[in-house]
Structure 1
Amino acid sequence: MAFQKGLIQSENAYNQLTEVSSLFAKTVKGEFLSTWQWWFGVALFIVPWIVWFLLRKKDSTGRLLLAGFITILLSLSVDLVALSLGLWSYPMVIIPFAPFLFLPYHFSLAPVAVMFALQIKPKMNNLIKGIIFSSIAAFGGMNFFNAIDFYNPKNWSTLYDFLIFLTFYYTAYWVTRIESFKSLDK
């Protein structure tokens, strides 16, 4: 009996989520679509990839893309947990199909920033490089997005963002150091 009750409650929650998504879609269409902020958010989705494609270290493209993919997975995972717990929110909605996530951050800004950080000065001490990257991302980037209302940290400390970015950077760095890549046809 409890299972059936749970299914009913789950379906009710799903219906409420659908209503919330519809409200976000109306908000994007009616309020955000004509603003510079929305177009800036769209540009944040596209421009970093174009710049990366033009400036990437071409002989390391595969390793960098793997690091970027890991960063996407990590950032989405952290965000889903934090959003579920109400630790922060994204007031500016770019894509109404995923209204709770700031997709330009997950699919463009975070992975491209990590990939650039990895390829710039590859012989530099990675402890220092990770700290510099995380400081710029957390104290510069996240505070900037808070200032333009793309991100609402609520009571979340920027120091925690720093630690998250440090984790992203070092995980991606570790992935780029894997030596066991071999061709599948060998």
Structure 2
Amino acid sequence: MEEKVYEIYKLIIDANSKMSYLWKAEMLFKWRWWLLVILTITPWLLWIKFKRKESTYRLLLVGVIIMLITSYLDFIGVILGAWHYNWKVVPIIPGYIPWDFSLFPVFIMFLLQYKAKISPFIKALVFSSLSTFVFEPFFRYLKIYCADNWKSIYSFPIYIIIYLFADFLVKRDEFEKI
């Protein structure tokens, strides 16, 4: 069995080597690559400028949890062949990093702090609708994201649950001083 695992491992190493070559030859410094770099950095710069200072650490904690959840779900989707990403910011990290480590958590953190009195269900519907019916199709159109065996409508309830979970976490009063 160890030999079979090693053979598969060698295939992964070979695939990563080919992806790194492709990245350097055909992705690096192209307009889609620049777009992903901008989409990775700009949300955080905007968040730093417009965040509520008194909620910084609570929001960041929720943001990190959202990063973990979304990147794990993306990992599963990519591994199972439901979707893939054609472009990477860096060849040795997954292509979904701009989404899961920047766009999703920052978008959610902004929604959480903006108009806090609005129902979280309405905000969840806004977040899910924009993510499902605007952003996913737009990035498919740009050929950055490809839904291979996935329909956008499947994402809709998942995004609602992610947002409602973030809202639940950010409103907890269980934080105590150390």
Instruction: Mark yes or no: TM-score above 0.5.
Output: yes
Q: 2:146 aligns with which of 152, 159, 167?
A: 152
Q: Aligned Cα RMSD in Å? A: 1.2
Alpha carbons 1:94, 1:102 under 8 Å: kept: no
**In the alignment, which residue of structure 2 is the partner of 1:36?**
31
Write the distance in 2 (CA, Å) between the matches of 1:82 and 1:37. Answer: 22
Equivalent position to 2:110, from 116, 140, 144: 116
- Among 119, 122, 125, which residue is 1:131 paired with? 125
Q: After the TM superposition, which residues 15-164 of structure 1 pair with which residues of structure 2 at under 5 Å, given as runs?
A: 15-99=10-94, 101-164=95-158
Structure 1 runs of 4+ with >4 Å offset: none
> How far apart are the structure 2 equivalents of 1:171 and 1:33?
36
Query: After superposition, what is the alpha-carbon deviation per residue over 1:31-71, rounded to whole angstroms, capped at 9, x for unaligned?
Result: 01131111111111111100011011111111111111111
Distance in 2 between residues matched to 1:174 and 1:10, nearest whole Å: 42
Separation in 2, partners of 1:13, 1:168: 34
Q: Percent identity?
A: 34
Question: Number of aligned pairs?
Answer: 178
Task: State the one-letter code of the partner of 1:61.
Answer: T
Give the match's secondary structure for 2:143: coil
Gaps spanning 5+ residues in structure 2: where? none
